[in-house]
Amino acid sequence: MKKEQTKPKNTGKLDRGELTRFGISMERKLLQKFDQTIHDRHYANRSEAIRDLIRDYLVSEYVEQQMTTPSADARPIIGTLTLVYNHDMYDLNARLTALQHDYHETILSSMHVHLDFHHCLEVLALKGPASIVRDIANQITGARGVLHGKLTTTVVSPDFC
Ligand code: NI
């Protein structure tokens, strides 16, 4: 009798194609630490946690590569830039607004929150070539008076699903 093929369980998530099983060897202590950490992060199992780690690694490598040596068929990078600044700083609001107008094609949206009497939080959503996203982030976070700026990047690609 022919053995029935097992289909991947329908998790309601994106179809990620055929699953391949593989074994990993590692030190017991390292695995215990990993298991404790993924339990704390509410992962259902090791496979899901390892898939996320691999995706994160591949996305980071892709973004890094496209920022330094962009390829002709590169996908747009998605970024969020988080800023905290002091709005009392002379001219800073005007400079930040001018920069955002200069790059209106890449900066899709911005959110401004008045944190207290002096400080503002701004979160920008960006989408565009990696090198341009990086340049915008550098110019804005480097502006005098910006206390902290952090760019987070990702990419939407079937390669990483
Ligand atoms: Ni404000």
Q: Assign residue 19 a region: left if phi > 0, alpha if psi is -120 to 50, beta otherwise?
A: beta
CATH fold label, 77-160: Alpha-Beta Plaits (3.30.70)
Alpha carbon of 97 to ligand 1 centroid (Å)? 12
Is there a contact between 99 and 136 (Cβ–Cβ < 8 Å)?
Answer: yes
Alpha carbon of 86 to ligand 1 centroid (Å)? 8
Number of C-beta neighbours around residue 62 at 10 A: 21
Domain locations in the chain?
Answer: 28-68, 77-160
Alpha carbon of 76 to ligand 1 centroid (Å)? 30
Q: What distance in Å separates the CA atoms of residue 1 and residue 81, rounded to the nearest whole number?
A: 59
pLDDT profile of the chain (161 residues), mean per 10: 52 66 95 96 95 94 91 92 92 92 96 96 97 95 94 90 74
Which one-letter DSSP state was computed for residue 72?
T
Alpha carbon of 85 to ligand 1 centroid (Å)? 9
The CA distances from residue 53 to 46, 86, 159, 160, in Å, are 10, 36, 15, 11
The pLDDT assigned to 52 comes to 94
Whether the model pTM is above 0.85: no
Is there a contact between 69 and 116 (Cβ–Cβ < 8 Å)?
Answer: no
Question: Residue 113 has which token pair?
Answer: 């929150």
CA torsion sign for 34, 39, 44, 49 is negative
The pLDDT assigned to 13 comes to 55
Length of the chain: 161
